Amino acid sequence: MGKYEFSAVESKWQKYWEVNKTFEASNKSEKPKFYALVEFPYPSGFGMHVGHIKAYSGLEVVSRKKRLQGYNVMFPIGFDAYGLPTENTAIKTGVHPRKVTDNNIIKFTSQLKRVGFSFDWSRVIDTTDEEYYKWTQWIFLKMFEKGLVFRDKTLVNYCPSCKVVLSNEDSQGGKCDVCHSDITHKTKEVWYLRITEYSDKLLEGLKDVDYLPNIKLQQENWIGKSTGAFVDFTIKENGEKLRIYTTRPDTLYGVTFMVIAPEHPVIEKYRDSIKNIDELDAYRKECSKKSEFERTQLVKDKTGVKIDGFTGINPVTGKEIPIYISDYVMMGYGTGAIMAVPAHDSRDYDFAKKFGIDIVQVIKGGDISKEAYTGDGEMINSDVLNGIDNKKDAIEKMLEVIKEKNCGEKGIQYKMKDWAFNRQRYWGEPIPIVHCPECGIVPVPYDELPLRLPPVDNFEPGSDGESPLAKIDEFVNCKCPKCGHDAKRETDTMPQWAGSSWYFLRYCDPKNTKEFASKEALEYWLPVDWYNGGMEHVTRHMIYSRFWHKFLYDIGEVPVSEPYAKRTAQGLILGPDGQKMSKTLGNVVDPNDVVDVYGADVLRVYVLFMGDYEQSAPWSENSVKGCKRFLDRVWGLQDMLVDGDDYRESFRSAFHKTIKKVSEDIDSLKFNTAIASLMALINDIYASGSITRGELRTFITLLNPFAPHITEEIYEQQNFGGVLNEQKWCEYSEELCNDDKIEIVVQVNGKVKSKMMIDTNQDKDSVIADALADSKIKELLDGKNIIKQIYVPNKLVNFVAK
RNA sequence: GCCGAAGUGGCGGAAUGGCAGACGCAGCAGACUCAAAAUCUGCCGUGAGCAAUCACGUACGGGUUCAAGUCCCGUCUUCGGCACCA
């Protein structure tokens, strides 16, 4: 065998797979189905980096193995192409976003094909294709029909740099998800999707799916369910009921003041009777100017103003207490009003200390002269609750009291907020809504979909946060679909997450022009058997798409309630410097460069071998060379071939063990140890100097999912018959994984002192006898008492001696 | 602050409570070569020793066990998520 010419071989097989439609999945098959899904890329102008390759390589290997195991595998790919970066490129270069997107998709496609991924290219989708976004709009209208779409004028997250309103999911940590600028707040009327209606379903659904534990936990925390009580306090001066939410109704006797959010409507309602209204207004104005960042920086330093003219009455104790406004209470959670229990809540404690308010302890424990006590303990100073010694019982008792007094009830709250569903930008799906002066908000009729994005030359957003579409009269001016009156179109577009919220459904039937996918296709493929992607999408795309899917399930459009049966996440590839790869740091590795120099198989093996698939690890060019060496040695196996379709005696257990190891490791994402076991095996083969044809065939079959090109080529060169990707995965027998003889260790007092060969499954007594006969052990035990003998079959013998 | 994950050679990382460091990289020595690259062989946690070997060693301090990287308690550090969520 000559040198392995990876470049020619790789393009040869890639062409073969393309011509023969090798990886196109059929919607009808005798075989069991397997739907493997990876997050489709956003086609940016920078092309892919090796992180994308790692993200796809995991399920790529799983898919190839599943096919060999006789499954009808669908492993699709597509492009999530609407979004700001493309639009910004268009603004900068003057090239239309359609053109930019098309170019980027061509670039991404060629990169993906060069790596030899077994994607089903007949199912490619592009979210900006009108045959696709037609259905994105269709689902939106279905939601509108069911009352899940609404407009509201409230305080929204706003990115001053991107000039768009952002959802809560898009502004995590107070930073814009796209450009990382600080978020500000402003009052604006925008579209919302009522995702909170699905809070409980999204939480409950997690019980039935196989997601990594940390993924479930992050979603649970994001949804943020808490149970507690709503309690109506009264404002003495005007009799107004002021409703609060608390998770600690057991501490109701410790309430010494109340706090309401600066935006609470009760202030406007009674502003004439508030004596220090000027002071309140000044404080409220100051709060609205603070950025998210400033607010979080000032956590310890509480600010606020006492409302002069309001006195709160505790409905349970009848006690009169002051009411403050402070920005540590937010309008967006609970009722925007709280009962403050400084003895047992650290925020209330800080506030009380600063404003000199009484602190009344109602739970025994801690030292409330120093800090709030948030632990459990016996109730004190609490009338009927006194003596109860745990939180759970105390809460129960208080809920009864509240019920008796008819001043509130048990309540549930979620941290998740409704989804601000809008972008004041051009490159997105137009929202199919018409504003009619007669009829109000009117949906575009289904048969008029898609509502096309008009071709324009100027995509600059307006400085006042207006969408570029607002400037296009032909688009804006229309007739009301209901009454025919002159009307205006909605000019906001959908956020970037819209198209990706249902793309996995379209893959099932991507060319359908009548439905987003046929019932038969959905019935056949759903749910996605295994979905892999990034951790950064767990509280964004994953939440959104589960919501859309559950909605479609509720209206009978999809057959299963959860879209993804299993979800895993890969770790990042860091730059060679150990930093996160980024253009500004200049440490981005382009997969094309690696393929040029080492070949696609090397790249594929390396990204999976570099470490634990779920952990981040830095790129190392030297380690890439190690993988290259490995594959060259695989090629070299052909020079040491001997006849024989079976495993040789001396290698039988090694092969069975390796088949078992590789099979199990692929299924549990442990690609690094799967490859390591193949490396260990090849080392042994080289040491022996020869390999049988049968052994070679097994070896290249096991390696095929990782390195499909070189293994196909060897398979062909050796005339094994047919092509490797149509063969069967290797079988192993548990029994044959064991050698006849096995080495065990002999310990004295827990320390290894000797090793010996025994027959596999040799009986206990004879093993111990052999161990005692060992000259070294004999010497060590001489003159000592054996107190205990421990025997672990096929592992060790341990003598405890004095 | 709360929640979660993790701390193992020079590096990436292996180890159902049972030989710590598999596999790979880097390094050192040798072979081949006029030479280099490539390739091949050997060594490669620390300390002592010519050696066989011995002692120590999985962030730190305790504990359980015949046996602990692995289990329990406490401490520290790093990373990730949430963050005034009442």
For every residue of A57-94, which 3-state class applies, written as one string? HHHHHHHHHHHHCCCEEECCCEECCCCHHHHHHHHHHC
Count CB atoms within 10 A of the CB of residue A292.
16
- State, as a whole number of angstroms, the distance between the CA of A480 and the C1' of B60: 73
Q: Which nucleotide's C1' atom has the smallest distance to the CA of A297?
A: B84
A408 CB contact with strand B at below 7 Å:
no
Kindly tell me the sign of the dihedral angle through the C-alpha atoms of A251, A257, A262, A263: positive
Closest among A174, A87, A155 to A423, alpha carbons compared: A87
Distance CA(A504)–CA(A562), nearest Å, equals 12
Is residue A518 classed as helix, strand or coil in its secondary structure?
coil
Q: What is the pLDDT of residue A766?
A: 86
Nearest nucleotide, CA A414 to C1': B85
Q: Alpha-carbon distance A444 to A204, whole Å?
A: 34
* Residue A519 to residue A745: CA distance in whole angstroms: 61
Name A residues 316-335 whose Cβ lies under 7 Å from strand B: 327-330, 332-334
DSSP state of A733: -
Between residue 9 and residue 38 of chain A, the positions with Cβ below 7 Å from nucleic chain B are none
With distances taken from each CA to the C1' atom of nucleotide B67, the closest residue turns out to be A750
CB proximity A185–strand B (7 Å threshold): no
Q: d(Cα A580, Cα A51) in Å, to the nearest integer? A: 10
Nucleotide B73 C1' to residue A378 CA (A): 26
A window 278-297: Cβ near strand B (< 7 A) = 295-296
The 10 Å Cβ neighbour count of residue A540 is: 20
**H or E element, residue A266:** helix A265-269
Protein residue closest via CA to C1' of B79: A616
Residues of A93-126 as b/e, b for ≥16 C-beta within 10 angstroms? eeeebeebbeebbebbbebbbbbbbbbbbebbbb
- Cβ neighbourhood burial of A676 (10 Å; 0-12, 13-18, 19+): middle
CA distances, A155 to each of A186, A246, A276, A598, A692 (Å): 5, 23, 25, 54, 72
Cβ contact A167 with chain B strand, < 7 A: no
A617 touches strand B (CB under 7 A): yes
Regarding an ipTM greater than 0.90, the answer is: yes
- Is there contact between A410 and strand B, defined as CB under 7 Å from any strand atom? no
A347 CB less than 7 Å from any atom of strand B: yes
- Residue A73: which residues within 8 A CB-CB, separation 6 or more? A23, A25, A33, A34, A35, A36, A63, A66, A67
Contact A715, A723 (CB under 8 A): yes
CB A702 within 8 A of CB A662: yes
How many residues are given for chain A?
802
Chain A, 192-251: which CBs lie within 7 Å of strand B?
A: 213-214, 217-218, 221-222, 224, 226, 228, 245-248
The bases of strand B with some atom under 7 A from any protein CB are 1, 3-5, 11-16, 18-20, 22-26, 38-41, 54-55, 66-68, 80-86
Cis? peptide before A262, omega within 30° of 0: no
Predicted pLDDT at A738? 82
Strand order in the sheet with A433-436: A440-443, A433-436, A486-489, A477-479
Q: Which residues of chain A between 626 and 655 are close to nucleic strand B, CB under 7 A?
A: 626-627, 629-630, 632-633
Question: Quick check: A790 CB within 7 A of strand B?
Answer: yes
Say whether the CB atom of A783 is under 7 angstroms from strand B: no
Low-confidence ranges of chain A (pLDDT < 50): none
* A155 CB-to-strand B distance under 7 Å: no
Strand B–CB A336 distance below 7 A: yes
Place of tokens 């305080």: A155
Give the CA A183 to C1' B9 distance in Å.
Answer: 46
Q: Does at least one atom of strand B sit less than 7 Å from the CB of A750?
A: yes
Q: Helix %, strand %, coil % for chain A, to 5?
A: 40, 20, 40
What span, in angstroms and rounded, lies between the C-alpha atoms of A444 and A488? 12
Q: Is the CB of A727 under 7 A from strand B?
A: no
A775 phi/psi in degrees, rounded to 5:
-60, -40
Q: What is the pLDDT of residue A298?
A: 56
With CA of A796 and C1' of each nucleotide, the nearest comes out as: B18
Q: What radius of gyration do chain A's Cα atoms show?
A: 33
CA–C1' gap, A611 and B49, in angstroms:
38
Task: Note the CA–C1' distance, A13 to B78, in angstroms.
Answer: 45
> Residues 91-120 of chain A: which lie with beta carbon within 7 Å of strand B?
none
Indicate yes or no: strand B within 7 A of the C-beta of A622: yes
